[in-house]
Each structure stands twice: as structure tokens, then as C-alpha cells.
């Protein structure tokens, strides 16, 4: 348990440093919030908005929010740096300057430019505009999106997962120098590594070539799994439910299997033997589309959709607590919602593993298809 304790200690330390560095931002919302009751979540629309807000990436790391006696909305958490590539170059400031405003009413001035945050996206106002004006579909008319390289909540999640994986497995690697069989937390990690190797890599890629791809498969497997599990913690990460993250993962898989494609693979893809010559170009287009578009797309959409769906369903079921209050009373509604949420969370635990497994498995399968050398008949 030493490793776990140490990494927990490390994590706590890292969090503390982050919190103190970003100056404990327990700030107050301005009155012009969209919800005039201080941001309480009560109606169906508010719940739907809240879930949407959770599913989107966030520029603050809010642990919880509450309203004080004066009706002011208080947010407990810490702000994160915002890094933008605007029309006048790099701009950086802390997200606390938006005061948790998410509808574009708080403007931040930097380098003579005004920035507003609308639905977790940062917009740069046009040169002559002083406030954001919206059309009837709530799209900003006088502002445009900027390239946003902020350390958002998802990036923090990625970094935490990366640190966890790195420290866990380098500790395990160090253990092997002194003993054959790891002890403590390493004993949990070792079978997982063996599982990825023996159940995912070997059967799908083949005994001869699997070694080369093991680092990628292991990294992806643990990365996705840890992030999925972090999504189930009350910290409220939704990293693998960010389309950008899954696109990135699928793209790396695509690059891996395209660059390692064997001669046979390309021959079979582009000029299928044993098929009438007239059909071959059509088949080549289909095969190429399959390998370059459909397969990565199915990879990225599956992970994204599963996690997003899981999060929204769990949050929706949790919101039953509020919606059923009038019918079943506080205790009844809470009980129903508690047991349903518990049940769904257990399923989500399974899904968290299953999605990591499937992503790794399908990556291995596609890599295996690409590196396979056919016996010529």
C-alpha cells in the first residue's frame, strides 16, 4: 500500500500547491446571472442546463457551489489559467476574472481586446463592441471564437491521470529491480498489464509483432480507464466525454496502424487480389474509407457517446430527487433517486472498464489487420 499512499500524498500535495498558487477563489457571482434565484437548480430546464454545463469542458475547477443566507451564489474550488491565441497574439489570465459567469456578461480586458465566456467557450469581441449582443438563438453576433489553449478542467484531469499512471507504473518498474514478484499496489497493477498483453495484444496482433505496440496499447488502456473512473468521482471530470480527447486518441490509433501497415495490407487494400479488375478501384475506395474514416470514427464516437450518455443518465437520475419531490415527498424522492443512481453508477463502473477494454481491443484489432502478412495462396 506504500505506493498508493505515496501517490495519494503526492496528489494531495499537488492539489494543495495548485490551490494555493491560484489563490483560493471562493468568489461571488454578480446579480446578473441567468438564474435570478442564485443559481439553484430546481426546474427541468435548469437541470438540463446543469447537465449540459457539466458535460462541457470548464475553465474553473469548481468542487461545489452553494447559496448563502444573503442569496449570493458561492463557488468553492479554484480557478485555472486561461491561455488564448487571439488576433493580437498570446493572452493569458486566470479564469477567476470571469467570476464564474458563463453567459458573456463579464468581460476581461487584455491587450485592448475584450473576452467573454459563453457556455464554456471563450469569445473575442469585435473591435468596436463593448458588450456581447445575442441573436434570438442565443448566438453571439459581434464576437468570434478564439483558439483556446487554456488549462481547463479536462486538461487538469488528463494531467492527474497521467501523473497517476506514470508514478504507479514507474514504481512497479522499480520494484522489479529488487524482487521478482511485486508487493503492495504493484500486485494489483501487474495482472492488469498481463491482461492487456495476453488477452488484448497477443491474440489480436500475433505473437511475433505484438511487442512493438505494447507501450501504446497499455498507455491508452490505462489512460482511458483512469479517466473514465475519474469521471465517476465527485470531482466531476468528464474528460473521455470530450470529443476532442477521443478524436485525439482515435487519431493516434489511426497513425499507428497506417504507419505500420505491411506490404500485404496495402496490396490488399488498394488492389484487392482475386477480384475482377473493374471492381478493384471501387473496393479500394471502400477499404480506404473504412480504414481512414469509419474505423477511427467508430472508435472516437463510441467512447465519447458512451461516457456522455453515462454521465447524463446518472445526472438525470440523480435529478429525479428534485423532480419527484412533489409526488413522493423529500424522503421518497431521495430514496428512489439514491438507489437508481447507485445501480447506474455500478453499471458505469463496468462501462468505464469495458470502454477502455474495447478501445484498446479494437485498436489492437486494427493494428493486427494492418501488420498481418498473408500467406500467399
Q: Is 197 in the site for another protein (CB under 8 A)?
A: yes
Cα–Cα nearest to 51, from 322, 354, 347: 322
Considering beta carbons, is residue 173 or 342 the nearer one to another protein? 173
Q: Is 158 in the site for another protein (CB under 8 A)?
A: yes
Q: Is 94 in the site for another protein (CB under 8 A)?
A: no
Considering beta carbons, is residue 155 or 270 the nearer one to another protein? 155
Q: Is 253 in the site for another protein (CB under 8 A)?
A: no
Q: Is 87 in the site for another protein (CB under 8 A)?
A: no
Kindly indicate which of the ranges 59-67, 160-168, 283-291, 329-337 contains the residues binding another protein, using the contact rule CB under 8 A: 160-168
Considering beta carbons, is residue 73 or 186 the nearer one to another protein? 186
The angle subtended at Cα 298 by Cα 297 and Cα 301, nearest 5°, is: 80
Question: Which of 79, 101, 242, 341 forms a contact with another protein (CB under 8 A)?
Answer: 242
Q: Is 165 in the site for another protein (CB under 8 A)?
A: yes
**Cα–Cα distance list, 175 to 5, 12, 84 (Å):** 16, 24, 43
- Residues contacting 367, CB < 8 A, separation 6+: 204, 205, 213, 253, 256, 257, 260
Give the burial string for 366-375 (b: 16+ CB within 10 Å, else e): bbbbbbeeee
Q: Is 81 in the site for another protein (CB under 8 A)?
A: no
CA distance 142 to 4: 51
CA distance 143 to 195: 50
Q: Roughly how many angstroms between the first and final C-alpha of the chain, as a whole number?
A: 55
Contact letters for another protein, residues 281-300 (x by CB under 8 A): ----------------xxx-
Angle, helices 210-232 vs 153-178, to 10°: value is 130
Residues forming the site for another protein (CB under 8 A): 56-57, 83, 121, 147-152, 154-155, 158-159, 162, 165-166, 169-170, 172-173, 176-177, 180, 190, 193-194, 197, 199, 203, 211, 214-216, 218-219, 223, 242-245, 247-249, 251-252, 297-299, 301-302, 304-306, 309, 354, 357-358, 361-362, 365
Amino acid at each position: 500500500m506504500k505506493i498508493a499512499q505515496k501517490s495519494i500524498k503526492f496528489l494531495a500535495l499537488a492539489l494543495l500547491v495548485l490551490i494555493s498558487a491560484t489563490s483560493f477563489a471562493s468568489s461571488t457571482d454578480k446579480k446578473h446571472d441567468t438564474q435570478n434565484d442564485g443559481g439553484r437548480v430546481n426546474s427541468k430546464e435548469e437541470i438540463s442546463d446543469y447537465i449540459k454545463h457539466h458535460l462541457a469542458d470548464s475553465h474553473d475547477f469548481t468542487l461545489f457551489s452553494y447559496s448563502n443566507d444573503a442569496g449570493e451564489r458561492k463557488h468553492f474550488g479554484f480557478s485555472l489559467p486561461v491561455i488564448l491565441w487571439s488576433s493580437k497574439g498570446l493572452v493569458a489570465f486566470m479564469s477567476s476574472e470571469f467570476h464564474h459567469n458563463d453567459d458573456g456578461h463579464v468581460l476581461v480586458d487584455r491587450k485592448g481586446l475584450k473576452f467573454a465566456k459563453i457556455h464554456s467557450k471563450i469569445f473575442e469581441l469585435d473591435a468596436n463592441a463593448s458588450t456581447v449582443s445575442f441573436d434570438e438563438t442565443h448566438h453571439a453576433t459581434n464576437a468570434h471564437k478564439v483558439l483556446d489553449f487554456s488549462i481547463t478542467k479536462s486538461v487538469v484531469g488528463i494531467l492527474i491521470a497521467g501523473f497517476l499512471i506514470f508514478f504507479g507504473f514507474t514504481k512497479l518498474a522499480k520494484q522489479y529491480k529488487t524482487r521478482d514478484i511485486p508487493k503492495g499496489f504493484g500486485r494489483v497493477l501487474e495482472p492488469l498489464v498481463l491482461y492487456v498483453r495476453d488477452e488484448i495484444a497477443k491474440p489480436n496482433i500475433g505473437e511475433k509483432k505484438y511487442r512493438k505496440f505494447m507501450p501504446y496499447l497499455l498507455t491508452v488502456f490505462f489512460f482511458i480507464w483512469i479517466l473514465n473512473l475519474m469521471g465517476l468521482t465527485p470531482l466531476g471530470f468528464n474528460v473521455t466525454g470530450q470529443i476532442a480527447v477521443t478524436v485525439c486518441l482515435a487519431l493516434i490509433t489511426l497513425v499507428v496502424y497506417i504507419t505500420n501497415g505491411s506490404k500485404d495490407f496495402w496490396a490488399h487494400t488498394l488492389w484487392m487480389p482475386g477480384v475482377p479488375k473493374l471492381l478493384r478501384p471501387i473496393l479500394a475506395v471502400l477499404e480506404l474509407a473504412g480504414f481512414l474514416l469509419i474505423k477511427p470514427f467508430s472508435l472516437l464516437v463510441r467512447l465519447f457517446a458512451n461516457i456522455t450518455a453515462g454521465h447524463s443518465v446518472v445526472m438525470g437520475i440523480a435529478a429525479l430527487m428534485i423532480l419527484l419531490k412533489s409526488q413522493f415527498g423529500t424522503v421518497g424522492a431521495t430514496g428512489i433517486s439514491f438507489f437508481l443512481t447507485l445501480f447506474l453508477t455500478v453499471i458505469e463502473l463496468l462501462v468505464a472498464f469495458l470502454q477502455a477494454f474495447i478501445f484498446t481491443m479494437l485498436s489492437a484489432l486494427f493494428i493486427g489487420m494492418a501488420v498481418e502478412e498473408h500467406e500467399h495462396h
